[in-house]
Amino acid sequence: MKARLPKGYGSNGGTNLQQIAKQAQKMQEQMDEASNVLNEKEYSATAGGNAVSVTVTGKMEIKSMDIKPEVVDPEDVEMLSDLITAAVNEALRAAQKDKEDTMTELSGGFSLPGLF
């Protein structure tokens, strides 16, 4: 008794694998291109009512930081440190979310660990 393979398997299976490989390659190229674009983007955030503003790149690097002179109090360095930390973290979260959203859109919602 011979086993039957489902439709699409058997002699044409190689064709299906080639199509899947081409689609995967195309998706990888799109993701690489999107990653390059995202790495060049800039994300800004502020803290303390615009007392501290930070701009980061998609590469997760700080590009610039602006601190209003009125928040520089030698008696309260901890507050300034907290404002800087809050602004940097918010800008980094924005960059990470944009990357995740873009890659999820390109991958059709599939989770592809390690690609971004």
- Model pLDDT for residues 40-70, shown as the tens digit of each residue: 999 999 999 999 999 999 999 999 999 999 9
Task: Work out how many domains the chain is built from and give that number.
Answer: 1
The reply to whether 57 falls in a domain is yes
Residue 89 in any domain: the answer is yes
Whole-structure pTM value: 0.72
Residue 104 lies in a domain: yes
Residue 19 in domain: no
CATH number reported for the structural domain that contains residue 81 in this entry: 3.30.1310.10
Euclidean distance between CA atoms 48 and 38, whole angstroms: 27
Range of the domain at 92: 42-108
Question: What is the pLDDT confidence band of residue 111, given thresholds at 50, 70 and 90?
Answer: low
Q: Determine the pLDDT at residue 116.
A: 47
18 occurs within a structural domain? no
Q: Is 61 part of a structural domain of the chain?
A: yes
